[in-house]
Structure 1
Amino acid sequence: MNAAANVRIEALAPELADRALAMADTLGLPLAGDAEFALQLGAGGWQLQELGQDAAGPVRVDFLEGAVAHRRLHGGGSGQMIAKAVGIQPGVRPVIVDATAGLGRDAFLLAQLGCPVTLIERHPLIAALLADGLGRALGDPDVGVIIERMQLRQGNAVQLFRAWAEEPPQVIYLDPMFPHRDKSSLVKKEMRMFRPLVGADDDAPQLLQAALELATHRVVVKRPRKAPNIEGQSPGYVLEGKSSRYDIYPKKALKGK
């Protein structure tokens, strides 16, 4: 974990103490002491809470309610730009690796549209939040079938790609950490909390190169609309929106079965 920030584990109810202790052992984090953040276990699952004065509210992974549920119900389906970027089209639902999973929102959307998605998250604390959210949503009658298409791996994507032993993914999706310009309170809260924990994705060029070597059909990189390309190979083409864009690195055409 980033040494610039410290985290403790907290149980918000006495009956949850054993599970909190197990997580503390898994992550190598303390159950007490001064900290900037707390990974808290409550009745609704795990959440990350900033501590101190003027702290933002907690961040958790929730695939059942809130922004993710709204996007699932009203997001525009396969007409969305991200769907076009990864190559979704009639009869084509590529096998995807989301190598910078974060809170899993893009991966969930792609799984909702029918794609098998492997999520890779290298920060163990964020991976713990993801695992908790996936586990809670799996039993939902409406969302569970989407979650079944999602598989989580915790680790460094560059290392995992170089040691990949199974069938390579058709598409690798990358969304490296960058300063969001979105003014919504949710984005501001998450970025405020995550930056001290995970830092910047300084190895984005290495990640792009490793992705290009592994993906069979294309690599897709989400960037701020006016941001420079990731250092290395130039994209073949770009899909541009109001605030962000998708750099497409095509290798082979995606075709339906």
Structure 2
Amino acid sequence: MSRPNAGNPDSPNGIIPLAVARSQLGDEHQAQFLSSELSLPYLGIVSPKDVRNAHALLFLDAGGLCVQLAGKGAPGPVRAEFVSGKMGYRREHGGGSGQLVARAVGLQKTKAGLHVLDATAGLGQDAFVLAGLGCKVSLFERNPVIHALLADGLARAALNMDCAPIIARMTLRSGSSIDWLANAEDQSDATHAADVIYLDPMFPQRDKSALVKKEMQVFRTIVGDDDDSEALLAAALKVAKYRVVVKRPRKAPAIPGPEPSTRIEGKSSRYDIYPIRALPQR
């Protein structure tokens, strides 16, 4: 994923690709920090629908940090949310044990507490499901804007009594997962980076549900497509202990490289599984 393009007043048509702003209830100090840390213009207190000089906003309001496309008719905010909404409902109704990602990682085959490395964490939804089912999850998100969204969502969820034990099993790391995996391979005393490495690289054609379309509009604005998924898969296969799992749109081709041994298909997505050795039975 590319770094965010902050833009400047000299951008074509004077439109800034991404800026920081807040509502009256948004945290001023956090907004100033994000503006400085990400080298993004700070617009102060605004209403996103009235903004004309920025395409999208990294926006702070009463609900925390979100990304919001600017202008009238833009879809609503996108944020990392674990306490309420879809993730909250799932947590309260079984925790996601029936989710395809749980099957793909192999949780129906082992009772061992697996260490899963989510190398393309995004908003952390799949990682939260796996942590809720007992996995220890390390998350990498190299885009600094999406990383900031995820960090904010995890921090808010850690304050919730029901979510806190799950968040405690999730560790958000900085930087590129490819670099981290390569370093793990180079360390002579390192055995494996994780039991399972999970990849969900950005792909042009995704699920067409309204929510995903909204999220993808925002993600396209900030991230673009992943053009190094082949290198990421190759790096993961070298250091995963039991398997590598890759999430893809159901009809998309596999990532170039070795063919997956198994696939689990859903209505819109599928999981390509690259087994390395059998999962522990304990």
The answer, yes or no, to whether TM exceeds 0.5 is yes
Shift, 1:252, TM fit: 1.1
Q: Among 221, 228, 232, which residue is 1:207 paired with?
A: 232
**Separation in 2, partners of 1:27, 1:217:** 37
Residues 1-257 of structure 1: matches in 2 within 5 Å? 1-3=3-5, 6-13=17-24, 16-32=27-43, 34-74=53-93, 77-88=96-107, 89-164=109-184, 168-257=193-282
Shift, 1:155, TM fit: 1.8
Deviates more, 1:172-181 or 1:49-58: 172-181
Deviates more, 1:117-126 or 1:50-59: 50-59
Output the TM-score relative to the length of structure 2.
0.85
Q: Which runs of 5+ in 1 are unaligned?
A: none
Q: Summarize deviations over 1:211-231 as a string: whole Å, max 9, x none.
A: 111111110001112211100
Q: Which runs of 5+ in 2 are unaligned?
A: 8-15, 44-51
Decide whether aligned partners of structure 1 residues 163 and 90 sit closer, same or farther in structure 2, where only a CA change above 3 A counts.
Answer: closer
Shift, 1:182, TM fit: 3.1
Deviates more, 1:108-117 or 1:44-53: 44-53
**Separation in 1, partners of 2:226, 2:232:** 9
Deviates more, 1:239-248 or 1:223-232: 239-248
RMSD: 2.0
Output the TM-score relative to the length of structure 1.
0.93
Identity of aligned residues (%): 50
**Separation in 2, partners of 1:211, 1:15:** 39
Give, as a single letter, the amino acid of the residue that structure 2 aligns with 1:29. Answer: L
**Separation in 1, partners of 2:97, 2:267:** 18
Decide whether aligned partners of structure 1 residues 67 and 77 sit closer, same or farther in structure 2, where only a CA change above 3 A counts.
Answer: closer
Give, as a single letter, the amino acid of the residue that structure 1 aligns with 2:92. Answer: L
Give, as a single letter, the amino acid of the residue that structure 1 aligns with 2:77. Answer: P
**What SS does the corresponding residue of 2:27 show, helix, strand or coil?**
helix
Conservation of the 8 A alpha-carbon contact between 1:123 and 1:154:
no
**Separation in 1, partners of 2:99, 2:26:** 44
